[in-house]
């Protein structure tokens, strides 16, 4: 319990950030279709391919898409402008460049090796373009466009914190691990869906994903959660932020996630090693 109480300030900070105008306004613009859906999806695919290639934590993709969506929402780009595709490619590459520089890590290697890996990845982005200076110029434009708010509350942040507070993490290590991996699995897919990101806060999406994973576990192992566990999950001292959510929004978000993501069997995540991608490392290879 003391460890959970120690984590409360971190969760409170995430929720406070989520409420701030700097991190909210771009969600409204996702509904306006500022970025053609086919381009945004290809950019997101490239991000995942690139991050997997270097075996970085996939949370970097959520950060990069946050930068990309927020920056695009602050500009007045039009799909039919001359050379607009090249502009989007530069913005996309710069958002990933910045996210890797500030947030990319691999838990499998030392910090020294992480530093070396980040340099290699940044070099791939920078010199995988015809005009590296465009990336460097766009980096400063993006930082000003983001008002230097470069530590957004991500879906992965909320997934991690909500799963940490869940009683399954203490009751059964295997089920607790599935809960977290299945929640992450869903939020990684959610990043592809601007209609989801526009309609719901990141905390609601992450909690809806957790509830879907929870339902899967209880359906296959209904006796796993004791009465004490149920009371722990519902305790206001741990979950006041969840109790403030609109239940109808959570249910609606759950249904949208279920339509695009069928959760695997409980033993699916027992081997969570990712295969290293052999993907291209240039966004232009995806967005054409």
Region for residue 55 given its phi and psi (left: phi exceeds 0; alpha: psi -120 to 50; beta: otherwise): left
How much is the pLDDT for 143? 95
Q: Is pLDDT of 168 > 90? A: no
CB contact burial 119-137 (16+ within 10 A = b; e otherwise):
eebbebbbebbeeeebbee
How much is the pLDDT for 218? 84
Q: Tell me: the pLDDT tens digits for 216-272?
A: 988 887 776 666 555 555 544 445 555 577 889 999 999 999 998 888 888 877 655
Task: Please return the burial class of 226, using the count of CB atoms within 10 Å of its CB with bins 0-12, 13-18 and 19+.
Answer: exposed
Q: Which of 108, 107, 96, 46 is nearest to 71 (CA)?
A: 96
Task: Give the mean pLDDT of 142-150.
Answer: 93
How much is the pLDDT for 278? 42
Angle at 88 between CA 86 and CA 94, to 5 degrees: 105
Distance CA 80, CA 120 (A): 35
Distance CA 21, CA 24 (A): 5
Distance CA 267, CA 288 (A): 39
Task: Give the mean pLDDT of 200-221.
Answer: 90
Of 16-25, 58-67, 236-245, give the lowest mean pLDDT range.
Answer: 236-245
């Amino acid at each position: 319990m003391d460890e959970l109480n120690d984590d409360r300030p971190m969760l409170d900070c995430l929720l406070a950030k989520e409420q701030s105008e700097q991190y909210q306004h771009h969600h409204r613009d996702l509904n306006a279709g500022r970025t053609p859906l086919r381009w945004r999806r290809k950019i997101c695919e490239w991000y995942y391919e690139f991050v997997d290639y270097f075996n970085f934590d996939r949370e970097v993709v959520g950060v990069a898409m946050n930068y990309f969506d927020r920056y695009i929402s602050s500009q007045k780009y039009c799909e039919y402008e001359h050379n607009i595709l090249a502009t989007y490619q530069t913005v996309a590459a710069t958002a990933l460049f910045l996210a890797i520089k500030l947030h990319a890590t691999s838990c499998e290697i030392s910090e020294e090796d992480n530093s070396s890996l980040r340099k290699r990845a940044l070099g791939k982005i920078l010199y995988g373009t015809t005009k590296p200076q465009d990336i460097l110029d766009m980096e400063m434009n993006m930082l000003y466009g983001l008002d230097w708010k470069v530590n957004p509350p991500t879906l992965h942040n909320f997934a991690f914190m909500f799963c940490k507070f869940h009683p399954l993490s203490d009751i059964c290590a295997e089920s607790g691990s599935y809960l977290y991996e299945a929640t992450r699995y869903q939020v990684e897919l959610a990043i592809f869906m601007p209609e989801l990101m526009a309609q719901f806060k990141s905390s609601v999406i992450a909690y809806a994903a957790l509830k879907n994973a929870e339902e899967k576990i209880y359906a296959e192992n209904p006796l796993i959660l004791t009465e004490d566990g149920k009371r722990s999950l519902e305790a206001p001292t741990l979950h006041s932020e969840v109790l403030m959510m609109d239940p109808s929004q959570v249910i609606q978000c759950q249904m949208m996630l279920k339509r695009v993501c069928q959760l695997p069997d409980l033993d699916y995540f027992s081997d969570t090693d990712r295969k290293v991608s052999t993907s291209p490392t240039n966004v232009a290879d995806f967005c054409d």
